[in-house]
Amino acid sequence: MKRILGLVFIACLSLGFAQTSGGTLVAAWAQDPVGLDPHVTSAYSSFQILENVLDTLVTLDAEQNLQASLAESWDVSEDGLTVSFHLRDGVKFSNGRDLSADDVVYTFNRILDPETGSGSSWKLGGVTDISAADASTVVFTLEAPNPGLITKLAVDKTMGIIAKENVEDGTINTQPMGTGPFMITDFQPGVKVMLERNPNYWQAGLPYLDAVDIRIISDESVRRTALVTGDVDWAISVPAQSVEELKGRDDVVVDSTAAGSYWYIGVNLGRDPISDAKVRQAISYAINRDQIAEAATFGQAQATEEPIPASSAWSFGYAPYEESLDKAKSLLAEAGVADGFELEIMPTTQYEESIRIAQVLQAQLAPLGIKASIRTLEWAEWLEEEGAGNYDTYVCSWNVLVDPDDYYYAQHHTGEVFNFTGYSNASVDELLDKGRLTQDFAERKAIYEQVNKQIVDDAPYIYLYNPLNINAYRLNVQGYAARPDQAIRFVNTWLEN
Q: What is the pLDDT of residues 239-263, one digit of tens each?
A: 888 999 999 999 999 998 888 899 9
Alpha-carbon distance of 297 to 39, in angstroms, equals: 31
Is 46 a domain residue? no
Quote the pLDDT of residue 3: 35
The number of domains in the chain is 3
Is 3 a domain residue? no
Mean pLDDT computed over 423-452: 94
Co-location of 285 and 329 in the same domain: yes
Co-location of 289 and 386 in the same domain: yes
Q: Quick one: pLDDT band at residue 233, thresholds 50, 70, 90?
A: very high
Co-location of 220 and 159 in the same domain: no
Quote the pLDDT of residue 20: 61
Last-in-domain residue among 168, 186, 213? 168
Quote the pLDDT of residue 134: 96
Co-location of 63 and 90 in the same domain: yes
Rounded to 5 degrees, φ, ψ at 85 are -105, 130
> CATH no. for residue 323?
3.10.105.10
Does the pLDDT value for residue 10 go beyond 80?
A: no
pLDDT in tens, 344-353: 999 999 888 9
Co-location of 351 and 399 in the same domain: yes
> CATH no. for residue 232?
3.40.190.10
Is 42 a domain residue? no
Is 238 a domain residue? yes
Is 455 a domain residue? yes
Co-location of 364 and 435 in the same domain: yes
By the 10 Å C-beta count (0-12 exposed, 13-18 middle, 19+ buried), 61 is classed as: exposed
> What's the number of CA atoms in the CB half-sphere (13 Å) around residue 495?
15
Co-location of 70 and 159 in the same domain: yes
- Are 52 and 491 contacting, i.e. CB atoms less than 8 angstroms apart? yes
Measured from the Cβ of residue 223, the count of other Cβ atoms closer than 10 Å reads 24
Co-location of 177 and 188 in the same domain: yes
Last-in-domain residue among 144, 168, 192? 168
Co-location of 107 and 249 in the same domain: no
Question: What's the gap between Cα 48 and its chain centre?
Answer: 8
Q: Which structural domain range is residue 130 located in?
A: 52-168
Is 45 a domain residue? no
Q: What percent of the chain has pLDDT over 70?
A: 96
Co-location of 334 and 422 in the same domain: yes
> CATH no. for residue 92?
3.90.76.10
Residue type, 458: D
Co-location of 242 and 190 in the same domain: yes
Is 4 a domain residue? no
Last-in-domain residue among 168, 196, 219? 168
Going through 189-336 in order, the beta strands assigned E by DSSP cover 192-197, 211-216, 234-235, 252-258, 262-267, 301-303
Q: What percent of the chain has pLDDT over 90?
A: 74
Co-location of 375 and 403 in the same domain: yes
pLDDT in tens, 380-422: 899 999 999 999 999 999 987 888 998 999 999 999 888 999 9
Is 12 a domain residue? no
- Cβ-proximal residues to 211 (8 Å cutoff; 6+ apart), any chain: 24, 25, 182, 194, 195, 196, 197
User: Mapping DSSP to helix (H, G, I), strand (E, B) and coil, where does residue 463 land?
Assistant: strand
